[in-house]
Chains A and B, each alone.
Chain A
Amino acid sequence: MTKRLDGRKNDELRPMKVELGVVKSADGSCYLEWGNNTVIATVHGPRPIFPKHLANSEKAVVDYRYRMAPFSVGERKSPVPAKRDKEISLVSGFSLESAIQVEKFPNTVIDIDTVILSSNAGTRAAAITAASLACADAGLPMNGIVSAVASGRANGEFILDLTKEEEDAEDAVDTAIGVLMPQKEIVLLQMDGFVKKEDWKKMISIGLKGAEKVYDFQKNALLKKYPVDGDINE
């Protein structure tokens, strides 16, 4: 088994660092560094929805926005949202919607904003992971936490959490997988590549294990924000 460029094992995630509640004016927020990805996610809501005709009388509308800062990629990206951004926003929103108990808040909107400040593959997984934390931080009632990760293949090996260099490999396959934990229900699944059925199943299985690692990280982050012992902090 050849070592990866950055020395990681095949099923190893890049280092992650997180801070909750960074945006004081938001109901919940999360700053996440994941490898060379940096993302901020905020949650506002549930709150009144405008215009009123967009309201759903049975549940909250989840409005998820995925954006990349112009300076987040190699070549400066225009601030105008691309079609890719809109598509990612849509499917990511669905993945969070399955976690949030939206029926509790009819006729409202939950605004989730994610901004990628630096990008090195796996940004939509990083954004969903951060957004999940921001939702939990906001105290939204949820059935579980959405943990997302990229699972794929590069240079003949099945690997987790591909970097940009690995995504560019000739035989690269890249799957973004989002999982509702602890139920292990798949809520996001998108793939690009060329892969046989057996290898596909292997990739999903590896992806689910990766999501568990992300989930452990997310749980720790939430528990760390509320220490029960020790002196009070200002």
Chain B
Amino acid sequence: MNEKKIVVPGDFLTSEIKKLGSNVYINNNKIYSSVIGILSESPEYISVIALNGAYTPSAGDGLICVVKQEAATGYVLEFNSPTDTYLPKSTLRRKLDVGTVIFARIANISDNDSIELDNINILPVGTIYSTSCVKVPRIIGKNESMLNILKENTQSNIVVGKNGWIWFSSKNPKLLVRALDLVVKNSQKSNLTNSVKEFLEKNKTK
């Protein structure tokens, strides 16, 4: 069984020649971690799976965004990222209000780092649960196993943004939030999907 190793910023990882993945840096042929996270190493490849951190846009990602401001020719959208993005009115068929929630896909990231969105869907009134983007893979789970357990046991409609914003409409909002908090707090542990399933079954009727 693979023992999980937690590393912190500046931890020396290896001086072997490996392909650099995310959250590592190289200095004088030595490879170090740049974040607090779980070491992921193979003979050819090394990276650190971050336990917290900001979202960096990547083409193809589905995002939950919120309209922050209306400008003359477009809207400023916030999406849990270090910078906001701009959505031209020409891409839309209707007017948006401040506070409207959108689910959209990153079609393209241009040279100057600006983002083009497509597949824009306006979501109905709902709640946004905010966490770091690094937690999203565990909230979805292998083959969406975790996500399905959350949906079924709390009777919720859930749309997950890769940016760490999770939109939901739920018959049991308090239970869902507690379950999400559980995933977020224990994301480094193994067997999480089963533990969350047990938690939900135990607390379902409350």
Contact = CB atoms under 8 A, between A and B. Distances in A.
Q: Do A and B bind each other?
A: yes
A46 B54 contact: yes
Nearest to B23: A141
A182 B185 CA distance: 28
Contacts of A232: 182, 185-186, 189, 192, 195-196, 199
A229 B188 CA distance: 9
A183 B10 contact: yes
Interface residues of B, number: 37
A139 B25 contact: no
- What is the predominant secondary structure among interface residues of chain A facing chain B? loop
Contacts of B132: 139
A145 B83 contact: no
Contact of A136 (B36, B188, B192): B36
B15 to A, nearest CB: 14
Nearest to A222: B8
B4 A228 contact: yes
Secondary structure dominating the interface of B: loop
A234 interface: yes
A139 B195 contact: no
Given A232-B182, A234-B178, A234-B185, A136 B9 contact: yes
Identify which of A145, A231, A232 gathers the most chain B CB atoms within 10 Å of its CB: A232
A108 B4 CA distance: 33
A45 B53 CA distance: 9
Contacts of A180: 10
Interface of B: 3-4, 6, 8-12, 23, 25, 27, 32, 34-36, 50-54, 82-84, 132, 134, 178, 181-182, 185-186, 188-190, 192, 195-196, 199
19 contacts: A47-B82, A48-B82, A105-B54, A136-B9, A137-B52, A138-B52, A139-B54, A139-B134, A140-B54, A141-B9, A145-B10, A180-B10, A183-B10, A223-B6, A228-B188, A231-B195, A232-B189, A232-B196, A233-B185
Given A108-B83, A136-B9, A139-B132, 5 more contacts: A139-B35, A141-B9, A142-B10, A223-B6, A233-B186
Interface of A: 27-28, 45-48, 60, 99, 101, 105, 107-108, 136-145, 180-183, 219, 222-223, 226-234
